[in-house]
Structure 1
Amino acid sequence: MPPKITVLIVDDHPIARAGIRAVIEQADDMEVAGEAQDGDEAMRLVEQLRPNVLLLDLKMPGVRAWEVEKWARENYPEIAALVLTGHDRDFYLARMVEAGVAGYLDKNEHPERLLANIRAAARGETLFTQEQLQRVLQWQQTAGRKWDSLTERERQVARLLVEGKSDSAIAEALEIQQRTASSHVSSLLKKLELDSRQEAMAWLVKHIPEMSDDL
């Protein structure tokens, strides 16, 4: 008998982890290697347990899901990762595809379908639909291109803009001169091809959902 597929469940909701565990335990050919409630714990358990498949929730405390996957791909490329989420936004889908996950699944997935996807990922298959890949390409060529052109400081300014802060408040938050803050705002607007702060706020909330996740 071949060895069982080992799965590490990563989700910050205990009830969700219990539900996923119950589904996996129905299968004779796989087992739960462990559970993690955030990205930091996931990375520790990956090092310790070396599971075959990493089943990632998208939004959780600590290290973000795509950062966990990038780290796993660099250090343990033999481990396949699947995202199981209720957040079907192009930004998140693109980030996870770029990070190297094998599939991006809906949390409403039928249990048997989830098990089939875990088996496929363990075999080295990728599970993206053509529609998902087209969405990723579209996002990368439009909003993604603009977002990736911003510097880290401009992204910090972007988050503060979404919070509704003025240039003086941005300067105070980042401990910089107000004229420097104003310069960052102007540069951000130019790169996003927008004319006003209000347009920037609306664009960021629409295309970069992580900007408003914590508001």
Structure 2
Amino acid sequence: MNTPSKIIRVLVADDHPVTRKGIRTILEEAPDIEIIGEARDGVEAKQMVGELRPDVLLLDLVMPGLRPSKIEEWVRTNYPHTVTLVLTAHDRDYFLAKAVNAGAAGYLTKAEAPFSLIEAIRRAARGETLITGEQLTRTLSWHKEVGERWESLTEREHQVFALMVRGQSTQQIAKALTIKECTVETHIGNVLNKLGVASRAEAIAWAWQHQVVEEMNLSG
């Protein structure tokens, strides 16, 4: 068996050391794949892409620091030679839609068989797109049912909605945004109408159900 002449240089970005070690163990079985670096968070991943110029960025979706979708958008703009494969334990429509929109070449789960992961990296390095028809259907459905409603909110409505999800009252929201309470109530009414829900509680449940809480910067 001849060893392939071109070595695929891979950067692994995942905040879990055990996961990174497992990925390394799998990829070291492939003679044409070399792990050139391991990033522990989004900031480090972005820095290492710029320094190492990998052929493939293997990117986890839930890490500290920069949002993975923002990293991928940055990679597409600044280092188009590097293709991104998402490898995640979170096979949810929200995460899938963000990855597809950002230009990821593939969206894989951590339940993938070792051979499947190796083959996916090889295909991505050849310029193939691994997003499946089923994943595209899920992405389009998410945009229709969730994304369009979310994007219909104004910037101020997004701010009010985020504070609602934090559990703040009308008075607290008015103070935080330096606006009148009646204005807050108007914004809340608009949010409920645009989301198609009947109450604040339903709006908060909608945000968690569809993972748009990820867009609200509520980690602090």
TM over 0.5: yes
Give the Cα separation in 2 of the matches to 1:158 and 1:2. Answer: 54
Where does residue 23 of structure 1 map in the other structure?
26
Offset of 1:171 from its aligned partner? 2.6
* Structure 2 partner of 1:142: 145
**Structure 1 residue aligned with 2:195:** 192
Mapping for residues 39-54 of structure 1, pairs under 5 Å = 39-54=42-57
Q: Distance in 2 between matches of 1:210 and 1:32?
A: 33
Report the equivalent of 1:117: 120
Deviates more, 1:119-128 or 1:168-177: 168-177
Mean CA deviation greater in 33-42 or 192-201: 192-201
For 2:71, the equivalent position in structure 1 comes to 68
1:131 to 113, 134, 140: 134
**Whole-angstrom CA distance in 2 between matches of 1:127 and 1:167:** 46
Report how far residue 4 of structure 1 moved: 0.7
Calculate the TM-score normalised by the size of structure 2. Answer: 0.90
CA distance in 2: counterparts of 1:166 and 1:93, whole angstroms: 33
The answer to which of 169-178 and 130-139 deviates more is 169-178
Q: Does 1:56 align with 2:59?
A: yes
Structure 1 runs (4+) deviating above 4 angstroms are 211-215
Q: Report what 1:158 is aligned to.
A: 161
Counterpart of 1:106 in structure 2 is 109
Which letter maps to 1:70?
E
Amino acid at match of 1:77: P
Number of residue equivalences: 215
CA offset digits 1:63-106 (Å, max 9, x no partner): 10101001111111121101111111111100110000011101
Alpha carbons of 1:176 and 1:39: their partners in 2 closer, same or farther (altered >3 Å)?
A: farther
Bigger drift between 147-156 and 100-109 goes to 147-156
Separation in structure 2 between the aligned mates of residue 25 and residue 195 of structure 1, nearest angstrom: 54
Measured in 2, the distance between the counterparts of 1:195 and 1:16 equals 42
Percent identity of the aligned residues? 51
Distance 2:40 2:183 in 1: 39
Stretch deviating more after TM superposition (112-121 or 13-22):
13-22
Task: Quote the residue 1:6 is aligned against.
Answer: 9
2-structure distance, mates of 1:44, 1:180: 43
Partner of 1:95: 98
Please give the alpha-carbon distance, in whole angstroms, between the structure 1 residues aligned to 2:209 and 2:78: 34
Q: Give 1:158 deviation, angstroms.
A: 2.1
1:214 CA displacement: 4.4
TM-score (ref. length: structure 1): 0.92
When residues 87 and 210 of structure 1 are mapped into structure 2, their CA distance, relative to the original with a 3 A threshold, is farther
Matched residues in 2 for 1:10 and 1:152: separation? 32
